[in-house]
Amino acid sequence: MPSAGLIAEAAAQLNRIDQLASGSSRGRVQRELYALRADACTLMGQLIWDASQRRDHATATTYYEQSAGLARHLRDTTLEAHALLRTCYVALYGAHNAQTGLALAERAADIAARTSPALSGLALLHVAEAHAMLGSAPACERALADAERQLDRVDAGDAAADLVSPTQFGRLAGSCYLSLGDHRRAETLLAETAEELRDRRKSRAIVLGNLTLARIRQRDVEAGVASLTEAITELETTRGGGGMNIVFGAARELRPWRQESLVAEIHDRLLGLMTAA
């Protein structure tokens, strides 16, 4: 569902959690309610950032900081690492500050390593992506290998097992190779991942957007337009902020071919997407 339609209900539920936590007696119940509040703050940050098309960094970061502060108070390293990782996403994909994103991802990976291979592995994938954005292929490859080892250790008892999926490695590795300029390798990984992501439409739009970029940069315009068309179809339903940004970025790279009918048609679809937004 589009995030914008969920914010009011999420805020009401967060307020309800606050009331329950403040009215409960000290001990296990209050602790569990504060842990739930930390998780809910992270969700609020996600919803607000997505609904703003990844522009409202300040409000999202405020919620993530609240979550991380509560998690430290509870000594819950998994919750803290998740909040830090979400802050890392703002740095990487919102502020485009790879150095800050790298530091946050490394910190999240270190904190989660003791309790959650799932979250540590996910953070290491973003360590790899930050290194790729900085142009360091060897550091990126090392982080990808470290992430794969951690993700291989995930079991059903991992508190963050629901945050990772079988497609996670392909998504992030494909993005890494795109940033490093290895477009053929990126295309292979992203095309395979897009096929496996039929049930996760927001994530699929991002993957298809990156796949479009990999194809355009190999000057395969027809294939690029095909994947961009699929991405737009997903976005017409989900309105995902990450997918929107990547798709419009990919469309800008099609400008040298704007006189071709295929490209003109895709720009009409994008105009409709903007109007609906």
Q: pLDDT category, 102, cuts 50, 70, 90?
A: very high
Long-range contacts of 43-50 (CB under 8 A, 24+ apart): 43/10, 44/7, 44/10, 44/11, 44/14, 45/86, 46/3, 46/86, 47/3, 47/6, 47/7, 47/10, 48/3, 48/7, 49/89, 49/90, 49/94, 49/241, 50/3, 50/202, 50/240, 50/241, 50/242
Which residues constitute the domain of residue 235?
195-277
Dihedral angle sign, alpha carbons of residues 79, 103, 244, 246? negative
Q: pLDDT category, 117, cuts 50, 70, 90?
A: very high
Q: pLDDT category, 259, cuts 50, 70, 90?
A: confident
pLDDT number for residue 228: 94
Please calculate the CA angle 161-164-170 and round it to the nearest 5 degrees. 155
pLDDT beyond 80 at 276: no
What is the per-residue pLDDT across 151-191, written as a single tens digit (0 to 9) for each? Answer: 999 998 999 999 999 899 999 999 999 999 999 999 999 99
pLDDT number for residue 26: 85
Answer whether residue 82 is part of any domain: no
Answer whether residue 96 is part of any domain: no
Answer whether residue 183 is part of any domain: no
Out of 75, 104, 131, pick the residue that ends a domain.
75
Answer whether residue 143 is part of any domain: no
pLDDT beyond 60 at 267: yes
pLDDT beyond 60 at 112: yes
Out of 75, 96, 126, pick the residue that ends a domain.
75
pLDDT beyond 60 at 277: no
How many domains are contained in the chain? Answer: 2
pLDDT beyond 80 at 272: no
Answer whether residue 165 is part of any domain: no
pLDDT number for residue 212: 96
pLDDT beyond 80 at 199: no
Answer whether residue 25 is part of any domain: yes
Q: pLDDT category, 262, cuts 50, 70, 90?
A: confident
Q: pLDDT category, 226, cuts 50, 70, 90?
A: very high
Out of 75, 95, 120, pick the residue that ends a domain.
75
Distance CA 51, CA 34 (A): 25
What is the per-residue pLDDT across 35-50, written as a single tens digit (0 to 9) for each? Answer: 999 999 999 999 999 9
What is the per-residue pLDDT across 1-18, written as a single tens digit (0 to 9) for each? Answer: 889 999 999 999 999 999
What is the per-residue pLDDT across 131-151, written as a single tens digit (0 to 9) for each? Answer: 999 999 999 999 999 999 999
For the chain, the maximum distance between any two Cα atoms, rounded to a whole number of angstroms, is 68
What is the per-residue pLDDT across 79-98, written as a single tens digit (0 to 9) for each? Answer: 999 999 999 999 999 999 99
How confident is the prediction for the chain on average, in pLDDT? 93
Write out the DSSP string of 110-141: HHHTTT-HHHHHHHHHHHHHHHHHTT-HHHHH
Answer whether residue 206 is part of any domain: yes
pLDDT number for residue 270: 82
Answer whether residue 180 is part of any domain: no
Tokens representing 177 are 């190779």
